[in-house]
Structure formats: C-alpha cells, structure tokens
Chain A
C-alpha cells in the first residue's frame, strides 16, 4: 500500500467534466450585458514608419462606439522589465506584418471588422530585415534604434573551465552546424480577452493568459491606473504552451476601449492573428564543437547560437541564455563555452514555447552525441549512460543538480523498445533512435527583481468540511488546478473532489508568478503544502486531544482523522474541522515558496539556468522512411520522464504524450516561415500540426526519483518530455537512411534531396543542414521590393472583393491566393 491516499492515484482531473462536455467557460464564452466587440487593425508592412492615422471615417461607421490607436497608450511595455521595447499598439513604427496599430469597439464584431477598412494609415515603407545574417550586418537599417550593433538585441559570452586545454586533450573532435526552424504553439483556443470597467473606476480583465500577475503590472503601467483598481482573471486556457505568457495588444486595447466606453468589451483573435501574436519557438542557427576522449568522455564543448528573435524582445534575454545554460546538466562536461546572439528581424516576435530556448540546442547536442557514438563505435544508449552527470553535483557552469534520473530513463526506454538489440540492425528505411534531455522545475529567479515569494497559497476549511485553495496559478490545461487539489487533499486527508480551487485571480488569490518555466507544481505545490500542513497540524492536535492519543500518532486520510496505530480510533474530517474552528477560530492558513539560494553560479548571466530541481527524460523513436516518396513515418515514440514523484500519474502521462506529439509535429513539418515578411501559412489548414492519423503510437513511462525539496517529492512534467523526442527522431532517421538531418523540419522533399532522388541529376548526400552562417544576400532593397509587390497584390485583392477603396492594409493581411498554375486550392 502506498503511503499516500491521493498522491499517485489514477484519479480523474478535477475540471475534466466541464472540458469534456463543452461547458468549460473560456474567455470567449463570456457574455456580459451591453458588451461591445472589438477588432484590431494590423500592419500589412513588415517595416514602416507610421506617419499618421486617421480614424474619423471609422468612428462614423454605424455601430462603432470607440477607436483607439497607439498614441493613446504610448507607454513602453514588455514581459521583461529590462528590455521593454513594445507599445500596446504601434505608435510610430510597425515592425512586422500583423503588428496591431488600432482597435475598434462596436456593437457587433462585423461592424468592428468592417470599420477597420475605414481607418487610414499613412505608412512610409522601410526596408525589412528578414534573416539572421542580414540582421547581424545591416547597420544601415535598424529595426530598433537602440540596438548598439546592427540589429543585435542581445549578445552573451560565457566561459567555464579551461576550454583550450579541454580541446587540446581531446582524441576526437566534432564541429557541426545546425539550424532549428521556428514554429508556433498552435493552441486550439485563440487568445481572447473581455474587459469591464465599472462605474466605480475598477477594471476587470478576463483573459486567456499564463501570467495574470505580470499582466496586472503591465496594465497598471500602460493604462495609467493603479493596480488596486485592476483585477485580472485568468480564464481556463484552451492550451497555451508559452504562447499566452506575454502581455498582448488585445488585452490593452480591450481594457482601454472599455474604459473609454464604460461598457464591457470582448476582443478575440482569429486564427490568422494568433500566428502574428506568435511568441513561439525561435529559429536558431547553431555551431557546436565538441572534444572527447577515445572512450567518449567529454573534454570540452563550445556552443554558439544565433537566434532569430523577430521584431521585439519578449522573453528574448532569457531565451538567449537558455540556449546555452542547460547543456551541462545531462552529461559531464569539464570545460564549456557559450556564445549566444539574438537578433531582431521584421517578423512576429519569438518567445517561449514548451522547452523555452533549450529545445533547439538539446536537439543539436543529442545529434552530436549520437554522431560521437557512431564515430567511436559505441552504443548510443550505453554511451549516454557512461557520461552521465551524477546526482547531487555541480555543473561546470555552477548549476546545482539534486535528483537525477536520466540513467533510469535511458534504461526504461531501452528496455521498452529493445533499443540496443535493434539499433543499426534494421533494414534500410527502418530506423530507431534515442536521446536524453533535461528541463527545469521553475526558474530560480522571477522576471522582475524582488525578494518576495515566487508563489503563495491560502487554504481555508469551511464548517461542512469543504476545503478551498486560493492560488494565483493559471490553469492552461496542464493540470495546475488538479495539482492544487491533489496537494491540498493529500495534506489534509480529504479527496480532490472536496477541494474548491480558486486560481488565476489577482484579487482573490495570492500571487503566483505564472504558468511558465514548468514552475507551478514545484513552487505553488510547495506553497500549498505549507498552507495545508498548518491546518493539518491544527486538526491533528484537536483530534489527538479529544481521542486522548499522542499527536505524533495521529494522521488524516480519506476524510478521517485517526490514530495510525489503531485506525478505528478516529473521527470524521468534519468533526475534526469543527473542533479545530472552535479552538483556533476561522480555519485558514497561508503558505509561500521561494527557491533556495546558492543553486546557481555568481557570474553575470547566472540568473538563467538554476532551478530547485531538474527533470530528466529520454526517448526512443522508431521510424520508417519511404525511400521512393521521402515520406517519414514515425511509428512509435516511447518517452520516460523523471518527474520526481507523479502526484497525478494520469496527468503526467498526458503531459508526456502531449509533449511527444508536439515534438513530432516540430520535426515532421511545422514551420513558421515567411516570404518577404509575409507569413506563408497563417492557418491550421496549411500550418501542419499533426492529426490523429499522423500521430505515432505514444508510450509514456514515469520514472520517480522523489526529490527532497519537491512537494511530496514532485518535479516538473510539462515541458521536459518534449526535448528528447525531436533528436530521437532525427537520430532514428539516420539509423534508417544514413543521412544526418542537421536541420528541421525533416520534410519528404528534403529526404528525397538527401537520397539524391529529388531530380534526375541528384546525388546522395550524407547530411542536410547549414554549413555556416550564410552570406547575406547582396541585394539591398530586394526584400522591400518583394514585400511591396505582395502587399500591393493583396490590397488589390481586398478592394476587388470588398468593393471598398482601402487604405493601406485596411483589413489586415491575409494569406496569398494561389498563383495561377499553382496546385493550391
């Protein structure tokens, strides 16, 4: 029998019924009396000066109640206080196609939409910068005037240990270039916000956000009203994956429009707009040099990353550091150098997507590890096991490692698939690949400097035995409400169904920093546990007294408080609660959590990477490559994940499987790509997230290491399991056809190219990928010409269709129609 009554049991998720029956209330389901509907006008230019905006015709349009533009909210904002370079709506420059420039509230969504075409924006087009290479070189075109060098947003250089000596003592060297293509979250719920400014001057914003607390701060700054008069409620999110963790234009626009009109205002993005809101996976070019001994032991590693950040900062500073920070926590590396550069380009801003900044270098690193194994004739599983970073150790870059289950994970996936027996022995076209990885259970530092807890929770017991937990976490489908209910129920000895969860509300619940960096279980879990345990102590002590049993022997489980030595001796939870209330007064307690000090280094840049506990994972992928059509089929993905302890195993398995699905999508075809600054496929029909028919057979294995600092031993499970899947598939493709894909995604077209079958003149290749930074194209003005053409074509189409002589880009950008002769619909 388990020592727990709730933790580790396969119970249904607390809010699953509402989700399954369609009664869950998302932001867009909210309808308030007198509510107005708002839409945003978006830039058709990738880069342009905004000379003037004339909204008078739009204001006269029937149904329109208010119009706002960037000048109404000129305050700089952004998620990271040190790099705030955005405004709620563009003020005098637009920096990507799809950037919001104005908002309209009207009595119907159609009226608001129609009126968009009546806003006249006078743009002066500027040349857009669209590639990493151009961004690094072009001093003459600056996307942000503040950038010191060309269009470099951030540059970091870190070095640990003796790199030169390390490389000098190596028996074998590798030097590989990689490119990870950008992609987006594609959460099924599009972003939505409802703002309501009432007669008392108080603003309530219901919004699909992962970060109600940070948004609360930004609303105060941009709207110029004190936080005391703002309440942010994070509605249940229909998926988020990092895409709802910035403050967004639509949240400010809905708020200001509500303040102007004194009516509730709803603003829901359509699917196309979600692709422009983005903040997804950065395209990253990488160079990874590695030195190893004959047995594969690392002597040194040098990673360089170039991140294509898009038009704004978002979490960019953190992302840049994350591309380097976690490389050291899986395998022993005695000397390590990291150089990271993030540039601005005229594309939708990139930000955090599941695995934030670690996914791209992890893929590259695990491919390099696979290559080393192959060079040295080692079994890739055994090899990884041999070089494991030990538990309770420090990495060369100062990161504290505690529990470390990567070895068990590798063993588990190896056993489940017979990896070592099968690898390199399959028929051509069939392959099996493996990879390991790690992630954080929450960032060690908050986004703005402060000495307060990262998470707070309040637990309250009512007289009927009902329990309520209040915590500022945001439920994004990952199961944070389930986690809060599980921890509270376990600590108090009730069942999750007895617990009411009040989360994501800045007025009702104590601050939790938000659902990002997989921090919620560890941090909010610990805060909740502290609060619940205070009440538990009160219940046990009154019950002990009433039953005349020593308090150390008392325990609580399954709605009873009883003597563990003689379980029949006890009372119901309600009785204990009533006794306790009579003794102590209202039963309510608070808890908080702050990560320990000293878990990272003390150099500049050491703030990114430390966490109270790393999660570890390994995956094996089995693939089939059709040698004639180049089509890659992933038959099976088995992932093992060390989550410390699985508080809710069903939920952990869901996260593992969902991560494998998402990772499969990223390597098999998802890409956020552009033509002259225009998004090529801003729709779910053309942006290829896998369907159920494509999805491999997914298997999840839970590995438990029971972390001493985690709540009941738990660590994260939300992001890490994605990381090993992508390199495992890439390595399996190598096993199948002997080609290294040092570039994502792996499309059929590229496979055929590699096999030398794309055209009659093709020659087989042993790798597909970059071999350096490309020479920037010597075609100044070219990008602008290309863009100007497509923008013009689009406008002609818009005016043809609507019959309205549109101001530039009036209805916002749309996907390009298929050119004559194309195969498009």
Chain B
C-alpha cells in the first residue's frame, strides 16, 4: 500500500485527485480499525497528519478549528466551546485523544461521533476543499445517514467554523463505562444568549445527529422568562418537560450497547440535567 505524506493541503488535494484508490488518513483511529477488520482496503493512503495548515485554532471573530486538530489539542488550547472540550475529554483514552482528530470524526460521520452533536448544536459550518475549489456546508446538511455524508472522495475537510456562542453550553454522554466507550446516547446543549438561540443535538439516537426542534423552542421560551443573560435555574418541571421533548426527538434502536427504551429514558434525564446546568453558567 503506497503512502503519500502530504506537505500541505494543496499537495493533499492533488494526491487524492490523481489516484482514485487513495484515501486520507489523519490520526488513523477510525481508519486503521476498518483496515484491521478487513472492512476497507484502500489502494493508497494520503497522510495529512503533518499538514500544519490543518492544525490551527483561531478565534478572531468566528471560531475556526482545523480538521487536523486532535482532541488533546482541543483540551489544551481553548477553542471557545466548553461543550467541545467536554466532548473531547470523553473520547476514548489518552492515546486515542492524542491521535484522533476532529476532521476524522466529521469524515467518519458516525451517529456516535462525540464531536458531532456539539458541531450540530453550534450550527457549525464544515469547510471542504478539493482541486475544484472550496465548499462550505452547514452541519445540518452534512450527514446523510449513519457513516454517510456528502463529501466527495477527493474532498478534504479543512476546518469547522462557528459563531462563538458564549459560556452556556454543555455536552453529556452516557456509556457503559467511563472511558474507552462509544456513546449509548449523547447530547449537546448550547444556549447562545447574545443571539437568543438554543441548540440541542443528540448523538447515538438515530441514523444521523438529530436536532430537537420542539425542545429548542421550549427552552427558548423558558429563557425568555428567566432572562437569557442571567444565571437563574429553571424549575424542575420545566427541566423535566424539556427532557421529555428532547427524548421525543430521538429515533433510537436496540443494539449491543443499549436498548431503545433505555436510550430514550436516559436522554430525558440528561437533557433535564443539561438545562439545569447550563442555565446557571455565566
């Protein structure tokens, strides 16, 4: 198997364009598993882990996180999203966090990808580039199914971008143990006080990352009353109602990690706790 170590993004886009058997490899924490299980046999690899351009985080105005940024980096350098930090902290183990990248998570598009509910709730934009030029895709349109998205084979994800949303945000995940665990259900909640916007996104609860629209409007209503900028706790009833609305947005199934009934229940609990936690942040 030929491996091309790309110097920069242009080099990488050319390399994938000329060889149609080529696949990108960043941290390899998804791809190598697939290769080892014999599920994928790329004809050639284009390694992008040395591309500096993909490894930056910038916060001038919009937040921009390069696709090659690892979870360890996201924990060390503040990308201005507490939820993304929490999600990064929950990924795998230190070894996986040292290697795995946010770009790989976006490309794999697993419904259990931990960065993805956060990007959805932040209403991030995915920036992709190929020899044909650059495209910007709202996260809501990115995933088309479990492990499916609209990326063309020769397109490289270069970054994820979003408007900074302030401190009121959190990520929660339930798994069957506390580390090295794929989410049984996960949830990101972002309250963007300055834009009067609530984002709720669910992981591992359906074929793609799901948004809970009714729960979002309900929470916005609660915050209208409480005051968006204040640090005031919503009532328990309001939290429970929010939890129920979040759970009703899920489309879970039974699998080896958990039952559909458990997923729904635990989502409602997580959502209620998330709202109570986020409302008092400031």
Task: Contacts A629-B174, A801-B39, A818-B146 given; indicate if A823 touches B184 (C-beta within 8 A).
Answer: yes
Complex CA gap A116/B14 in Å reads 37
* Interface residue SS majority, chain A: loop
State the interface size on chain B (CB cutoff 8 A). Answer: 47
A615-655 interface code vs B (CB 8 A; 1 in, 0 out): 00000000000001111000000000000000000000000
CB within 8 Å of A: which B207-260 residues: 207, 251-253, 255-259
Complex CA gap A814/B40 in Å reads 13
**In the complex, which residues of chain B have a beta carbon less than 8 angstroms from the beta carbon of A688?**
176-177, 181
CB within 8 Å of B: which A780-805 residues: 797-798, 801-803
Complex CA gap A752/B184 in Å reads 15
Interchain CB contact under 8 A, A823 and B177: no
Interchain CB contact under 8 A, B38 and A814: yes
CB within 8 Å of A: which B166-187 residues: 174, 176-185
Least distance between B188 CB and chain A CB atoms (Å): 15
Asked if B111 lies at the interface with its beta carbon under 8 angstroms from chain A, I say yes
User: In the complex, which residue of chain B has the Cβ closest to the Cβ of A626?
Assistant: B269
Asked if A815 lies at the interface with its beta carbon under 8 angstroms from chain B, I say yes
Interchain CB contact under 8 A, A694 and B178: yes
Asked if A217 lies at the interface with its beta carbon under 8 angstroms from chain B, I say no
CB within 8 Å of B: which A686-732 residues: 686, 688, 690-694
**In the complex, which residues of chain B have a beta carbon less than 8 angstroms from the beta carbon of A824?**
110-112, 146, 182, 255-257
User: In the complex, which residue of chain B has the Cβ closest to the Cβ of A822?
Assistant: B255
Least distance between A639 CB and chain B CB atoms (Å): 21
Interchain CB contact under 8 A, B174 and A820: no
> Contact partner of A686 among B146, B257, B263, CB < 8 A?
B257
Interchain CB contact under 8 A, A628 and B269: yes
Task: Contacts A759-B261, A818-B255 given; indicate if A825 touches B110 (C-beta within 8 A).
Answer: yes
> Contact partner of A801 among B40, B179, B204, B255, CB < 8 A?
B40
User: In the complex, which residue of chain A has the Cβ closest to the Cβ of B186?
Assistant: A823
User: In the complex, which residue of chain A has the Cβ closest to the Cβ of B262?
Assistant: A749
Asked if A680 lies at the interface with its beta carbon under 8 angstroms from chain B, I say yes
Least distance between A205 CB and chain B CB atoms (Å): 27
Task: Contacts A669-B177, A691-B177 given; indicate if A819 touches B255 (C-beta within 8 A).
Answer: yes
Interchain CB contact under 8 A, B182 and A801: no
Interchain CB contact under 8 A, B174 and A685: no
Least distance between A756 CB and chain B CB atoms (Å): 11
Interchain CB contact under 8 A, B261 and A758: yes
* Interface residue SS majority, chain B: loop
**In the complex, which residues of chain B have a beta carbon less than 8 angstroms from the beta carbon of A680?**
256
**In the complex, which residues of chain B have a beta carbon less than 8 angstroms from the beta carbon of A822?**
111, 146, 253, 255
User: In the complex, which residue of chain B has the Cβ closest to the Cβ of A811?
Assistant: B38
Least distance between B42 CB and chain A CB atoms (Å): 11
Asked if B68 lies at the interface with its beta carbon under 8 angstroms from chain A, I say no
Interchain CB contact under 8 A, B265 and A758: yes
Least distance between B106 CB and chain A CB atoms (Å): 14
Asked if A202 lies at the interface with its beta carbon under 8 angstroms from chain B, I say no
Asked if B199 lies at the interface with its beta carbon under 8 angstroms from chain A, I say no
Asked if B205 lies at the interface with its beta carbon under 8 angstroms from chain A, I say yes
Task: Contacts A629-B174, A685-B182 given; indicate if A820 touches B207 (C-beta within 8 A).
Answer: yes
A732-769 interface code vs B (CB 8 A; 1 in, 0 out): 00000000000000011100100001110000000000
Asked if B138 lies at the interface with its beta carbon under 8 angstroms from chain A, I say no
CB within 8 Å of B: which A564-582 residues: none
Interchain CB contact under 8 A, B176 and A823: no
Complex CA gap A797/B40 in Å reads 10
Interchain CB contact under 8 A, A693 and B41: no
Complex CA gap A349/B111 in Å reads 35
Asked if A585 lies at the interface with its beta carbon under 8 angstroms from chain B, I say no
**In the complex, which residues of chain A have a beta carbon less than 8 angstroms from the beta carbon of B30?**
825
Least distance between A188 CB and chain B CB atoms (Å): 13
> Contact partner of B177 among A690, A752, A817, CB < 8 A?
A690
Complex CA gap A629/B263 in Å reads 10
> Contact partner of B262 among A681, A692, A758, A819, CB < 8 A?
A758
Complex CA gap A823/B176 in Å reads 13
User: In the complex, which residue of chain A has the Cβ closest to the Cβ of B264?
Assistant: A759
Interchain CB contact under 8 A, B176 and A669: yes
Max chain B Cβ within 10 angstroms of own Cβ: one of A685, A692, A748: A748
Asked if A464 lies at the interface with its beta carbon under 8 angstroms from chain B, I say no
**In the complex, which residues of chain A have a beta carbon less than 8 angstroms from the beta carbon of B258?**
749, 823
Least distance between A667 CB and chain B CB atoms (Å): 13
Interchain CB contact under 8 A, A747 and B176: yes
User: In the complex, which residue of chain B has the Cβ closest to the Cβ of A690?
Assistant: B177
Task: Contacts A797-B39, A801-B39, A823-B111 given; indicate if A681 touches B179 (C-beta within 8 A).
Answer: no
State the interface size on chain A (CB cutoff 8 A). Answer: 41
CB within 8 Å of B: which A68-110 residues: none
Task: Contacts A686-B257, A758-B261, A801-B38 given; indicate if A820 touches B145 (C-beta within 8 A).
Answer: yes
Asked if A821 lies at the interface with its beta carbon under 8 angstroms from chain B, I say yes
Interchain CB contact under 8 A, B185 and A823: yes
Least distance between B93 CB and chain A CB atoms (Å): 7
User: In the complex, which residue of chain B has the Cβ closest to the Cβ of A692?
Assistant: B179
**In the complex, which residues of chain B have a beta carbon less than 8 angstroms from the beta carbon of A669?**
176-177
Least distance between B17 CB and chain A CB atoms (Å): 23
B37-72 interface code vs A (CB 8 A; 1 in, 0 out): 111110000000000000000000000000000000
Complex CA gap A691/B96 in Å reads 14
> Contact partner of B174 among A631, A759, A817, A819, CB < 8 A?
A631
Least distance between A398 CB and chain B CB atoms (Å): 43
**In the complex, which residues of chain A have a beta carbon less than 8 angstroms from the beta carbon of B205?**
823
Interchain CB contact under 8 A, B266 and A629: yes
Asked if B206 lies at the interface with its beta carbon under 8 angstroms from chain A, I say yes
Asked if B100 lies at the interface with its beta carbon under 8 angstroms from chain A, I say no
Interchain CB contact under 8 A, B146 and A693: no
Least distance between A184 CB and chain B CB atoms (Å): 15
Least distance between A666 CB and chain B CB atoms (Å): 13
Complex CA gap A692/B108 in Å reads 28
Asked if B113 lies at the interface with its beta carbon under 8 angstroms from chain A, I say yes
> Contact partner of A814 among B37, B262, B266, B269, CB < 8 A?
B37
Interchain CB contact under 8 A, A802 and B38: yes
User: In the complex, which residue of chain A has the Cβ closest to the Cβ of B146?
Assistant: A820
B100-121 interface code vs A (CB 8 A; 1 in, 0 out): 0000000010111100000000
Least distance between B158 CB and chain A CB atoms (Å): 24
Least distance between A111 CB and chain B CB atoms (Å): 15
> Contact partner of A691 among B39, B179, B253, B257, CB < 8 A?
B179
Complex CA gap A244/B232 in Å reads 59
User: In the complex, which residue of chain A has the Cβ closest to the Cβ of B268?
Assistant: A628
**In the complex, which residues of chain A have a beta carbon less than 8 angstroms from the beta carbon of B261?**
749, 758-759
CB within 8 Å of A: which B69-111 residues: 93, 108, 110-111
Interchain CB contact under 8 A, B37 and A815: yes
**In the complex, which residues of chain A have a beta carbon less than 8 angstroms from the beta carbon of B181?**
688
CB within 8 Å of A: which B11-54 residues: 30, 37-41
User: In the complex, which residue of chain A has the Cβ closest to the Cβ of B205?
Assistant: A823
**In the complex, which residues of chain B have a beta carbon less than 8 angstroms from the beta carbon of A681?**
256
**In the complex, which residues of chain B have a beta carbon less than 8 angstroms from the beta carbon of A748?**
174, 176, 262, 266
Interchain CB contact under 8 A, B38 and A798: yes
Least distance between B7 CB and chain A CB atoms (Å): 29
> Contact partner of B265 among A685, A757, A797, CB < 8 A?
A757
Interchain CB contact under 8 A, A821 and B207: yes
Interchain CB contact under 8 A, B259 and A749: yes
Interchain CB contact under 8 A, B269 and A629: yes
**In the complex, which residues of chain A have a beta carbon less than 8 angstroms from the beta carbon of B262?**
630, 748-749, 752, 758
User: In the complex, which residue of chain B has the Cβ closest to the Cβ of A747?
Assistant: B176
Complex CA gap A690/B184 in Å reads 16
Least distance between A486 CB and chain B CB atoms (Å): 35
User: In the complex, which residue of chain A has the Cβ closest to the Cβ of B243?
Assistant: A628
Q: Can you list 6 A-B contacts with CB-CB less than 8 angstroms, sorted by A residue number?
A: A691-B93, A747-B176, A748-B176, A752-B262, A801-B40, A815-B37
Question: Sorted from nearest, which 3 A-B pairs have the closest CB atoms?
Answer: A823-B204, A693-B178, A825-B110
Extra A-B contacts (8), CB below 8 Å, given A688-B181, A693-B177: A681-B256, A690-B177, A694-B179, A748-B266, A823-B111, A823-B182, A823-B263, A824-B182
Which of B's residues lie within 8 Å of A, judged by CB? Answer: 30, 37-41, 93, 108, 110-113, 145-147, 174, 176-185, 203-207, 251-253, 255-259, 261-266, 269-270
